[in-house]
Amino acid sequence: MELYFLGTNAGVPTLQRNVTSIALRMLEERRSLWLFDCGEGTQHQILKSPLKLSKLEKVFITHMHGDHVFGLPGLLSSRGAQGVTSPLTIYGPPGIKAFIETTLSISQSRVPYTMEVIEHTGGVLFEDDNFLVESAKLDHRAESYGYRVVEKDLPGSLDLKRLADYGLKPGPLYGKLKRGESVELGDGRWIHASDVLLTPKKGRVVTILGDTRPCAGVEALAKEADLLVHEATFMEDLSELAHEYYHSTAKQAAEAAKRAGVKALFLTHFSSRYKDIDHLQPLLNEAREIFANTRLAEDFGLYPIQRS
């Protein structure tokens, strides 16, 4: 899994940063791409990136403010124009379905693929054998949500020494054991997967939040996550302004990361008053005083999510 930031600015785009959109690349895990928010210009950012709309499987919208959704109609239309026919599922708060249907209908945009739009108010949104996605409400002027992506634990590696003791050589039976199946040897003996698999590999947890003030939903979603993406619209000297506009400071993001016990924190959604990376450095310093493993998200930044 890798995070790829397509936009890290708040409110409106600047010459240095586009508005919010984050891609979660899972090419090894499921050969697909998940997108979190889709601010205006997101498809242009994708054109400048290694990402492909043909890989896009799911879109998760945190809230209905324009800097998080205005790029969605164009992206959906362009995906069809490129000849992509694979299905797409979109998750978002109440209103997302009407927004998509209205804009596509009025603009006479053609979507030649199956598209399912799921409105939600939190809870478990998706689960299969490999992943679980949960959502919880945050504290913002608009109904805003965060998402917790949980990779389920993976089977441990095969214990090659034990397999050799059984006299089993590499081949199709290795694959069956790796999948958790039992296999029969030629002499009538059985080997069970639990006999030859090492400790399972812990799945990764990624939490991506929408706009929010500090609230209980943040820490519930972020608990012991490998990586937390948290807005940091302002520095702490503007904490009153942040509260008034239902946003967070870099210090508040770091405090949430520390309380939740996350492993790494990425700050994003920066106010336009912080014009470039030099102006953002004080936000990073402020956060690192509380949570050392903090980084600034940058447009077109690709960040691998390592296993523990």
Based on C-alpha coordinates, what's the Rg of the chain? 22
CA–CA dist 151, 109 (Å, integer):
35
Contact present, 206 and 220 (Cβ < 8 Å): no
Residue 181, token pair as written in the block: 């199946």
Q: Is 63 annotated as a binding residue?
A: yes
Q: What is the DSSP pairing of strand 2-7 with strand 21-26?
A: antiparallel
Q: Is 120 annotated as a binding residue?
A: no
Contact present, 183 and 166 (Cβ < 8 Å): no
Contact present, 51 and 25 (Cβ < 8 Å): yes
Residue 74, token pair as written in the block: 């164009």
Q: How far is CA 138 from CA 21, 44, 250, in A?
A: 18, 29, 17
Q: Is 68 annotated as a binding residue?
A: yes
Q: DSSP string covering 133-156, please?
A: EEEEE--SSS--EEEEEEEPPBPP
Q: Which of 248, 173, 182 is nearest to 217 (CA)?
A: 248
Q: Beta partners for 183?
A: 191
Q: Is 44 annotated as a binding residue?
A: no
Question: How many beta carbons lie within 10 A of that of residue 71, not counting itself?
Answer: 27
CA–CA dist 176, 180 (Å, integer):
7
Q: Which of 45, 40, 91, 41 is nearest to 66 (CA)?
A: 40
Q: Beta partners for 270?
A: 9
Enumerate the active-site residues: 67
Q: How far is CA 46 from the centre of its chain?
A: 16
Binding site listing: 63, 65, 67-68, 140, 211, 269
Binding site listing for Zn(2+): 63, 65, 67-68, 140, 211, 269
